[in-house]
Amino acid sequence: MNFSIIQKSQLEGALRIDPDYYQQEYLFAVETIKKTRHKRLEDMISLLTDYHANGSYQILSRNVNLSENPDYALMVRAIDLEKNDYESDVRYVSRHAYDFLKKTKMYGQEIIIDKIGNAGEVFLMPNLEKPITLGMNLFMLRLKEGYEPAYVYSFLISKYGKALVYQRLTGTAPPSIDKESVRGILIPLPSKRTNQVVKSIIEDYFKMLEESKKLYSQAEDLLLEELGLKNAVFEDELSYLVNYSDVISDNRIDPEYFQPKYQKLIGKIKNQNSKTLGELVFIKKGFEPGSEVYQEEGKLFIRVSSVSKLGIEEKDQKYLSEELYQKLKKDYEPKVGDILLTKDATPGIAYVIKEQIEGIISGGILDLKVKDNIESEYLALCISSIVGQWQAQRDAGGSIIAHWKPEQVRNLIIPILLEEIQKEITDLVRKSHEARKKSKELLEQAKKEVEEMIEKGGES
């Protein structure tokens, strides 16, 4: 049993008396920070705002409409920040909406805190050099002149900063954080040296992320150029004719499935040598033990939301017990070189396992074991690109929650380019993943720099 004895004088004016607030790890973090020179976050910020600061729900609904098609300004959501991807599956707003949302325009270097989704998660907004506005369920903080955003961000994602943020979460389904709680977070003050070192590391972190994206984009561009799809435009058509024989053979009657753009895409692929995915890999479905067995720590349970084309995301992870893991690992633990492919919710995301993972894949993920006649990274890129995405969209469309059936996955058409082109694409993808790995190492380095400073009692 864990317990803490709290003096009445420590109850912060009786604003919080729930035991979660006074967990030992939180109290230790607070006491450690208090031994350094520090300030409350409210004394360091010039602005703390959110989407709804722009007006009531009714006023916002009249002035702001989100679009999946490129428009004047990007609206940044929590999912974009989590994936650090501001190009794929993003949302836009018009010039009118952007100007209306004047209280939440972003220019880069703002600190963002998720207030209700993955409450307490902290991000630093990069400089994208385009009009940007803040999405819903997020707080945006802008610091006063003289305070370094990179340092404050690094502190808030460090073990001490996380403890102070999570201490202030309230509720359980889902937890949330409010503005007053954010204002009350204690921030240790760094020396000029620590400020500059952390700033430099975070700058390198963003540079490596950009390098990773650039290399991956080059690999995609090379694939699409070889297929004649680089600048191809396939728009939805309002009307088209479908042969009855095609309806019978495909066993589909929904009009979305027969959009001509899908046939045009497949025609481009078939102009090359091509095979079905089932000819190239062995496919095995993951396992779903049920949410009742999830734990906050243990062996990793890899869900659909954990998989991106750039790696296994670390946000909102779930875990399984050692005992259950041992029972399932033989059949459901992926190996290095396997491709994880999502088939539910967001079908068509593929990622090649780079390092051995002690974990189990969920039922919404397929484990693809590649045969010897194709490069794994090339195959994963094909699936994650428009080549696989549109086929997945066609097959899994027409429902609220998309489901891509294994038999449909097996029939996915994959272009087989020349071996030297496959290797060139594979090399670019691998370099992209190496840059992303380096960026993660830099982020850990920044956190370590801050944590060591705090543990030494701060710096003058």
E strand or H helix that includes residue 30: helix 24-34
pLDDT tens digits for range 202-220: 999 999 999 999 999 999 9
Sorted by sequence, the CB contacts under 8 Å of residue 373 that are 6+ apart come out as 280
At residue 12, the pLDDT reads 57
pLDDT at 17 over 70: no
pLDDT tens digits for range 244-278: 888 888 888 888 888 988 888 898 898 889 999 99
316: nearest Cα among 299, 333, 303, 334: 303
Report the mean per-residue pLDDT for the chain. Answer: 91
Banded model confidence at residue 239, pLDDT cuts 50, 70, 90: confident
Contact criterion met (CB below 8 Å) for 132 and 105: yes
At residue 247, the pLDDT reads 85
At residue 11, the pLDDT reads 59
Q: DSSP state, 86? A: S
Q: Strands (DSSP E) along 309-417, which ranges?
A: 311-312, 318-320, 339-342, 350-352, 359-361, 365-370, 413-415
Retrieve residue 90's tokens. 């993003």
Retrieve residue 428's tokens. 């670019």
Neighbours of 429 (CB within 10 A): 25
282 vs 311 pLDDT, higher one: 282
What are the structural domains of the chain?
8-189 (3.90.220.20), 216-420 (3.90.220.20)
Give me the torsion for CA of 57, 61, 67, 70, rounded to 10°.
-100
Q: How far apart, in whole angstroms, are the C-alpha atoms of residue 455 and residue 121?
A: 23
Contact criterion met (CB below 8 Å) for 86 and 76: yes
16 vs 456 pLDDT, higher one: 456
Mean pLDDT in residue range 174-192: 94
Q: How far apart, in whole angstroms, are the C-alpha atoms of residue 346 and residue 360?
A: 19
297 vs 43 pLDDT, higher one: 43
At residue 284, the pLDDT reads 96
Contact criterion met (CB below 8 Å) for 451 and 457: no
pLDDT at 16 over 80: no
Retrieve residue 367's tokens. 């484990």
pTM over the 0.95 mark:
no
Residue for token pair 């294994």: 406
Mean pLDDT in residue range 178-198: 96
Pairing assessment for the beta strands 132-134 and 73-76 based on DSSP bridges: parallel
Rg (CA), the chain: 25
Contact criterion met (CB below 8 Å) for 370 and 287: no
pLDDT at 460 over 50: no
Contact criterion met (CB below 8 Å) for 349 and 307: yes
Retrieve residue 328's tokens. 């399932």
Mean pLDDT in residue range 329-343: 96
pLDDT at 196 over 80: yes
pLDDT tens digits for range 80-129: 998 888 988 899 999 999 999 999 999 999 999 999 878 999 999 999 99
Banded model confidence at residue 314, pLDDT cuts 50, 70, 90: confident
Mean pLDDT in residue range 349-354: 95
Q: How far apart, in whole angstroms, are the C-alpha atoms of residue 332 and residue 329?
A: 5
Contact criterion met (CB below 8 Å) for 4 and 24: yes
Contact criterion met (CB below 8 Å) for 434 and 217: no
156 vs 311 pLDDT, higher one: 156
Mean pLDDT in residue range 422-426: 97
Q: How far apart, in whole angstroms, are the C-alpha atoms of residue 9 and residue 3?
A: 18
pLDDT tens digits for range 381-415: 999 999 999 999 999 865 667 889 999 999 999 99
φ, ψ (nearest 5 deg) of residue 414: -115, 125
At residue 14, the pLDDT reads 45
